[in-house]
Structures are given as structure tokens and as C-alpha cells.
Amino acid sequence: MIDLPLRVLALGLLLLWLAPAATFVVQVLAALLPARRTAEAAAGDARPGGVVLVPAHNEGAPIAEQVAALLPQLGPQDRLVLVADNCTDDTAAAARRGATGADGAVHTAAAARRGATGADGAVHPQFTLLERTDPDRRGKGYALDFALDRLAEESADGRLPAAVFVLDADCRVSPGGVRRLFGACTATGRPVQARNLCGVDPHTDADAAGLMAVSELGMLFKNHVRPRGAARLGLPCQLMGTGMTLPGPLLERKRAEAPDGGAFGGDLAEDMQMGVDATVAGTPPLFLADVHVDSPLPTSLRGFDGQRTRWEQGHLQTLTRGVPRLLKAGVLRDDLRALGLAADLAVPPFSLLVLGWFAVAAVLTFVAWWTGFVAALAVHVFAGAAVAAAVVAGWAVFGRERVPLSALASVPKFVARKLPIYSRFLSNRLETEWVRTERVADGARAGQRPGSA
């Protein structure tokens, strides 16, 4: 009497895990094929002007180097706007130094020749510094909305720039990347996402080094391998928060639809949600793998826990909200791109995919023992082996020079470390504060290594 319900349960659980696993494998295999060429505008300066928007929270002196590196990448019609949001340090002053050349150690001779600094110490004409203080509304999304409000107010017609490039304060863009992203965005009218990779800092604490290596491998798959595979199949990618260029009309539409007039607001994963909204609106994001944005991973376990909590809870939050919207849009409009992004977004964080495999395997093993129905278990084992093979293949082609194979030994510890994150998500205890990612410079300023107490 109970055999049939158990077999139905087994098939249901198998399909629930198999769907995102199959998406993962297909994306990795597609990434191994030669990349498609992305449509871009001509390299000249005839395109409309764009704005590089950098939200910064307690970045301190290093932000001067970021500003100095970005200014030479702008076209004559572009601007760099930095928002010092709820800062309690010298972020604003450091940003001004980066735009004036007051800190001579920051700038290179090449940057100075290209006009990154003012010879008389004046702030560069293409740089704008905004300072915001609102302790009750802290977060990257609020900082971005604050800047968009200012840009709209300054415009004669109240319109936003043709393209807005969002870059986290600790990220670096490949040479020529800013203009290429602006060109692709204005040429297609779609959001454009650069390849975003995170690297392990050589000063990372010994007890965190293995976890950071696994984290780097996971980010390699999520932000490079899988988006590359999706692009090869003609499908959109997720937006990644940094390195994303958004069309002005998309932001204006979001501002008009929001009750408070904000395009981003306090959403835990404002970047992923923006990608969902753009796809539903018929302008799905493009992936531009040739432009890369690099940022450092945290240097301590405390920094790892904080960053991963924000990332993974935001992913799960967007998954539960965004997948139904994308499926509806894809089915009603016969839109393969919306369905493709829904499948991509439905792939959970890799550690959760691994945990899911073991949980489903345990149930299927019991069903096979009780009913003799072993087919579902056999398929599940084969699918798990396919995912493992895809990981090895992706690492061999894209990650061999970045992540040592020995890092895989830390995968069990990495997965276990994230169990409390999923527990807090299920209990609706979400991270909403904008907490700056801890880096090695923090410990230096405090007179100690990061993570020491």
C-alpha cells in the first residue's frame, strides 16, 4: 500500500534536484565551446555619456587609488560619481585626493598624462563626490538611489544618463573596460555584465585560506563559467552587483514603478532582482566576458561569514521571488530568454546543491531498500557524478591557474560553514545591514592582522 506513494516521492525529489543540476552541467559544457561575439558599439566617443557609480562605505585611504585608476578610463562625455555613504572615516577626503592628485603616491605618470589629475590641485571636472548620512536606511541600494536622485535633479530634462556602470569600491576594471561596457549597453539597450572574479589575498589567515580558495572556485563558476555557457547558448546572465552597466531607461522605469521612487531600495540582492526585472521587461542582461572586474575575498573567517551571509541569503531570496516571475513571463510570451534565466537562477549556491544531493540520496536509498525501486537512486548517482565531472572539467579549463586542486579538500568544511546561513534564511533572520567586506588593510590600520583579537 505504501510502495506507490514512496515511489512517487522518490521521483519528485529526484526531479527537484535534477533540474538545477542539469542546468549547471549544460552551462559548464557550453562554456567549453568557443565564445560568441557580443554586439558592441564602435570604439569612438560618439555614444551618449555614461556615469560610473561607486558606492563606498568606510573604504578609507585605498579609495584614492580606485578613483585615480577609474578617471583615465572615462570618455570625454562620461562622469565618475562616488557616494560616501554613512562613513565614519576619511573615505570622502581620500576620494578627493584621488581626483586631485594631492596624494602623489597614488598616481602613475601615465595616469597624469591622460588627465586623471588636475595640475593645479583642482578636483577633476569629471569627478563628483556625494556624501550621504542616513543611519536608518543603510545599504548599497539606498546609496545608489541617492546618487540617481542627484543625477536626475542635475539633468535639464530630469532624465538619467544613457548608461550607469555600478562598481564596488574595492573592485578594479580591466583596461578599456569602462568604455566597452558603456558601448555595449548603449548599442543594445540592455544591461551588460562584466566578468567578476574574486581572488584570495596572500595575507589571508591560515585558518581561512582553504575556505577562501573554495570560495574563489565557486565564484569562478558562478560569475564566469556558467554565464559564459549561458551566453554561448544565447541566454542571459544574472547581474552580479559590481561590474554591471544598466541602461538609463531601465532605471527610470524602475524608479517610476517603485512606491518610494527608488530603483534599488533595500533589497538584499538588488543586483539579481534588477536582472530579473530587466528580463521580464524584455531587455535581458548580456555577458561581456572580455571585460573583467576583480575584487579581493575577505581575509578572515569573520569576513567570510559576513560576506557569504549577504550573498547566499540574497541569492535564495531572489530565487524564491524571481523564478516564478520569469517562468510566467517565459510561458505567456514564449520567451526562451526568460525561461533560461529562470533555470539559471534556480540553481542554488553550490554548497546547497551538494547538501541537497546527499539529502535526496538518503531518501532514495531508503525507498530502494523498502520498495526495491532502485532506478531513481541509480539516476541520482549518475547525475551527481556528472556534476562532479563538470566541476573538474570547468576547473581544468578555467581555474587551473587560479585555484589549486588541493583546495577541493576544504569543500566539506566550506559546506558545513554555511549551514547556519541557510538556517537563518529559513527562520527569516536575514542580513540587511551594509557591512563592508573585511580586508587586510583593516588589520593594518588597527595595528593587527585581520581577524586577530
The pLDDT of residue 427: 59
> Do the domain assignments include residue 389?
yes
The pLDDT of residue 436: 54
The pLDDT of residue 435: 53
The pLDDT of residue 41: 52
> Do the domain assignments include residue 212?
yes
Rounded to 5 degrees, φ, ψ at 171 are: -100, 155
The pLDDT of residue 452: 33
> Do the domain assignments include residue 129?
no
The pLDDT of residue 411: 82
Q: 446 to each of 90, 156, 451, 452, how far by Cα in Å?
A: 15, 46, 11, 10
pLDDT in tens, 129-185: 999 999 888 888 899 999 999 999 999 888 999 999 999 998 999 999 999 999 999
> Do the domain assignments include residue 364?
yes
The pLDDT of residue 9: 93
Report the predicted TM-score, pTM, of the whole model to 2 decimal places: 0.85
The pLDDT of residue 449: 33
Q: 293 to each of 27, 241, 242, 265, 444, how far by Cα in Å?
A: 21, 11, 8, 24, 25
Q: Of 238, 424, 214, 223, whose CA–CA distance to 313 is shortest? A: 424
For residues 404-420, one letter each, b for 16 or more C-beta atoms within 10 angstroms of the residue's C-beta and e for the rest, the string is eeebbebbeebbebbee
The pLDDT of residue 438: 57
d(CA 142, CA 132): 10
Q: Of 92, 163, 151, 99, whose CA–CA distance to 125 is shortest? A: 99
> Do the domain assignments include residue 210?
yes
* Range of the structural domain that residue 417 is part of: 1-32+204-243+293-453
Q: Cα dihedral angle (289, 295, 299, 301), rounded to 10 degrees?
A: -60
Number of folded domains that form the chain = 1
The pLDDT of residue 310: 67
Q: Of 173, 170, 184, whose CA–CA distance to 140 is shortest? A: 170
The pLDDT of residue 160: 95
What's the average pLDDT block by block, 10 residues per block, for the chain (453 residues)?
Answer: 87 96 97 76 69 94 93 95 94 93 44 43 89 89 94 92 95 94 94 90 73 86 95 94 94 89 74 90 94 84 66 76 93 95 92 92 96 95 97 93 81 79 62 53 42 32
Amino acid identity for residue 246 in this structure: L
pLDDT in tens, 289-337: 999 999 887 777 676 666 666 667 777 778 888 899 999 999 999 999 9
The pLDDT of residue 113: 37
Q: Of 416, 387, 315, 353, whose CA–CA distance to 16 is shortest? A: 353
d(CA 248, CA 407): 42
